[in-house]
Amino acid sequence: MWRGGPNPLDSPAVRTSSSVLRLYYFLSFAALGAYVPFFPPWLEARGIHGLAMSSITALLPFVGLASPLVFGVASDALGLRGSLLCVASFGALVPFVLLALASVTHVPLAYGAIFAAVACFALFRTPVVMLADVMTLESGSSYGATRLFGSFGFLLTAAFGGRWLGGTRLAPLPVAVAIGLALAFAVSTRLRAPPARATEPVLDGAGQLFRSGAFRLFLGVTLLWAMSHAAYDLCFSLDLRDLGATPSTIGAYWAVGVVAEIALMSVSSRLVTKFGSARLVGFGLTVVALRWALVASVSSLPVLLWLQPLHAVTFGLVWVAALAYTKEHAPAHVLATAQSLFSIATGIGAGVGMLAWGALYAAGKGPLVFTIAAAVAGAGGALSLFLAPARAPTSELVESSDTVLDEAASATGS
């Protein structure tokens, strides 16, 4: 088992240009900025509502569970970070090319066809994010300063895409997503690097990681966070629409949240260094619970706009802190595997949330959805009180990890 010293995968062969990674994040999340805010209204325009809508939107987190561990273990064992990212990027692109072609040529798309296309997209989308994050963590550059380019790409399409993507026309949305994914795939071909195999047994390290009670608790906390935050992804646009917001206004609301997220990510390294990843995860979940409780009780669009900067904490801070926690508690030679376990936990949480929130929205609209989401986040916040700090190792697993907070913050840039 790896016990400190140089990361066996941290070599020039796997260190990647931060400028290329920033462009990749920008394009990949620009596609997501078209998908996340406007896909639920797009489904409604096709007559897909309630549980049927939830069953499709839940595919992204649920079907995504099938692939991260395979990609993660293969990436750790073979060192094929960039090549596998290229494969995943192409796999995510193909189904949206087909949806775009069908929409442009006015081919009818039934529920089953959309379900199958989104399932294929979901199978590859989660490894896309996971592998990009791992490459960033290993690149030696600041994670937050690199990842914020993804948030910026999301911001542009969410803020300015409402006019074209948020109406009842069916073609623009899949076309926009396909263009973003195609450009991201093109950039991913520049991220290939020669293989750098791990020198330690990957499966043994992965098994020990999963047997760690502290890491399993962390996965449970992130599961509850993802479950509660899925209410925002699925229902916030619908809630704003019900309160009278136009598609362009909805995009602007999402943009305000992402601007705040970008600002926070630019200083995230200092925050993790000062306060510690475990403490920041707990603080973030507390703010999540407060935010959803307020969203559930507020019916004023201007007030909801003032609440949007909280997105910096409820998503940006929790995400960066969770990645830092993963890096601190995972042996370096199984970092991609540890990241895949984190992706699986958040995928389960988001999938359960997507299934629940769509049905609950049909029953009680935004107030019901966000009241329950606040309770879920509160439960996660309570559990986070028991997360192990990185600077207090209590097991062989933690002893074998990067347990010095300053070293972890320097390596991850989080």
Among residues 122, 128, 132, 134, the alpha carbon closest in space to that of 76 is found at 134
Task: State pTM to two decimals.
Answer: 0.73
Report CA torsion sign: 147, 150, 154, 155: positive
Among residues 226, 229, 210, 232, the alpha carbon closest in space to that of 348 is found at 226
pLDDT in tens, the chain (414 residues): 333 344 433 444 334 577 888 999 999 999 988 887 788 888 888 888 878 888 888 787 777 777 777 787 777 777 677 788 888 899 999 999 999 898 888 888 888 999 999 999 988 888 888 888 888 877 767 778 888 898 888 888 877 776 666 555 556 788 889 999 999 999 988 876 554 555 555 666 666 776 777 888 999 999 999 999 999 988 898 899 899 988 778 878 888 998 898 899 888 888 888 898 889 999 999 999 999 999 999 999 999 999 999 999 999 999 999 988 888 877 767 777 788 888 888 888 988 888 888 889 888 888 999 999 999 999 999 999 988 775 433 333 333 333 322 333 333 333
Question: Which of 91-124 are b and which e, b meaning 16 or more Cβ less than 10 Å from the residue's Cβ?
Answer: bbbbbbbbbbebbeeeeebeeeebeebbbbbbbb
Among residues 230, 233, 223, the alpha carbon closest in space to that of 384 is found at 223
Angstrom distance (rounded) from CA 128 to CA 320: 17
- The gap from C-alpha 234 to its chain's centroid, in whole angstroms, comes to 14
